[in-house]
Copies of this chain bind each other. A is one copy, B any other.
Amino acid sequence: MCPCENGIAPPPADNSEMVQVPLNGSAAHSVPTNGVNGHANGHTNGAANGSAPQARPVNPYAPRASDFLSNVSNFSIIESTLREGEQFANAFFDTKTKIAIAKALDAFGVEYIELTSPAASEQSRRDCEEICKLGLKAKILTHIRCHMDDARIAVETGVDGVDVVIGTSSFLREFSHGKDMAYITKTAIEVINYVKSKGIEVRFSSEDSFRSDLVDLLSIYQTVDRIGVNRVGIADTVGCANPRQVYDLVRTLRGVVSCDIEVHLHNDTGMAIANAYCALEAGATHIDTSVLGIGERVGITPLGGLVACLYAANPEYVKAKYNLPMLREIENLVAEAVEVNVPFMNPITGYCAFTHKAGIHAKAILNNPSTYEILKPEDFGLTRYVSIGHRLTGWNAVKSRVEQLGLTLTDEEVKDVTAKIKELADVRTQSMDDVDTLLRVYHSGIQSGELAVGQKEALDRLLIKHREGSVTRSSSPSPTRA
């Protein structure tokens, strides 16, 4: 176990800890540092200043103090909604929509925006040129097959870099392009040298990396690293890799190449967020995402989910890097464009991501939100909601609502009215309005002396009387809420 988990504060981290460099401060590798220490714990402020760590609670979800490979607090996002996302069954982005998405992603703060190959269609080419001209802060990439024809078209669009991909697994070599490793290597070198000669970034990625022969894979990565590729990419094209497998492959690769490492992870078994997290722990530098994860089949690592797990590890770093309250807006923009709903269980923006229901949860949340929330809703421009109108409710949650309504009840009285809420909710869930009405009727009964703790029948009479009064009032010309 790491020292963090035993409650011992980690040592202060220097400003530029790097992969493969187990000593503070020796920057031997050109990973972008983003101005924040690589391995700070979640409660350390962004700007490392060499002062001693203060006695603050340690974040158990922060990168481990001793984990020198980890880039969990030192990474870039390659946002591929406009490339991988276009491969989603429902996606058809017209130029206007593409521009709106690119601008929103840029405002959110992603480091790269990846676009569909200009070789795919004439409109794809024109849109690529258009987006390059927007003058965004994010670097613009396009994604092409490892082929000189595609490369020539790509470099003419004005992009900042080209992502080159070719299938290296025996499956893809046999059933897709039919090329052998010697051919793949030769073509890769030709394409990389050509793109580099134009003065822009170039990435070389295998496809279906986890089913590729490891020796072939490392061999071609080493070759392209030596000729000066900016990044190599690992792709879990079929979406079936697991976290420790991703960790091991990235870590192995980290020892073979000195360039940056990008990962592209499909989500067929629901592990793409975790796989991305583990890739960063193993020294990856760039993660591919798309908004809501849209892409081929069930898509890839979603932007929001990745942000959620990295925020849990280091909230200050993530808050400084991205405009988090924009997340919901971007997700809504893309959801509308591809005609899907934001999934109800989406991290952060799922419609009940900050709704607390069980009695014991509600009590603790009302005492201190950190008890059940690591993700602070206010950091994402959202609010928390404690649900109390159901049979799992507890009297502490009800007491809190009583206080919010400005009513005065003793603990005994609150327990008594909570029993009534549970009884009613056993028949059907009570809305907040239902609960508030019950609390008000109960309170006024206590005040007037018509009610005391345990008088179930008296309470029922008061509720019936109230309902009849409501009906009368609401059928009058100008209804007023009680």
Contacts and interface: CB of A to CB of B under 8 A. Distances in A.
Interface of A: 1-2, 5-7, 60-61, 86-90, 92, 116, 120-124, 145, 167, 171-172, 174-177, 208, 210-211, 213-215, 237-245, 247-249, 252, 267-271, 273-275, 277-278, 281, 292-294, 296-299, 302, 305, 308-309, 311-313, 340-341, 343-347, 350-361, 363-364, 367-368, 370-375, 387, 390-392, 422-423, 425-426, 428-429
Taking each of A120, A171, A298, A392, which has the highest tally of chain B beta carbons within 10 Å of its own beta carbon?
Answer: A298
A340 B355 CA distance: 15
* Copies of this protein, total: 2
B176 A363 contact: yes
Contacts of A352: 88-90, 297-298
A166 B343 CA distance: 31
Contact of A249 (B1, B215, B360): B1
A367 B89 contact: no
A378 to B, nearest CB: 16
A236 to B, nearest CB: 10
Contacts of A7: 213
A128 to B, nearest CB: 13
Contact of A347 (B270, B311, B347, B392): B270
Contact of A61 (B174, B242, B277): B242
Nearest to A372: B238
B242 A357 contact: no
A214 B345 CA distance: 30
A344 B346 CA distance: 11
Q: Give the most central of A269, A351, A429: most B CB within 10 Å.
A: A269
19 contacts: A1-B252, A5-B214, A6-B213, A121-B423, A171-B368, A175-B368, A177-B360, A237-B372, A238-B372, A240-B309, A244-B278, A267-B347, A268-B308, A269-B309, A269-B375, A270-B308, A296-B356, A297-B354, A343-B343
Contacts of A61: 210, 240-242, 245
Contacts of A313: 242
B296 A426 contact: no
Contacts of A311: 269
A121 B261 CA distance: 54
A271 B269 contact: no
A281 B364 contact: no
Contacts of A278: 242-244
A87 B358 contact: yes
Contacts of A1: 214, 248-249, 252
B426 A122 contact: yes
Nearest to A427: B123
Nearest to A428: B92
A88 B357 CA distance: 7
A296 to B, nearest CB: 6
A75 to B, nearest CB: 14
A356 B297 contact: yes
Contacts of A277: 242-243, 271
Nearest to A294: B345
Contact of A242 (B90, B176, B239, B309): B309
A385 to B, nearest CB: 8
Nearest to A307: B269
A370 B169 CA distance: 12
Contact of A309 (B271, B302, B357, B368): B271
Give the one of A121, A210, A423 with max B CB within 10 A.
A121
A252 to B, nearest CB: 6
A351 B7 CA distance: 45
A314 to B, nearest CB: 12
Contacts of A243: 243-244, 274, 277-278
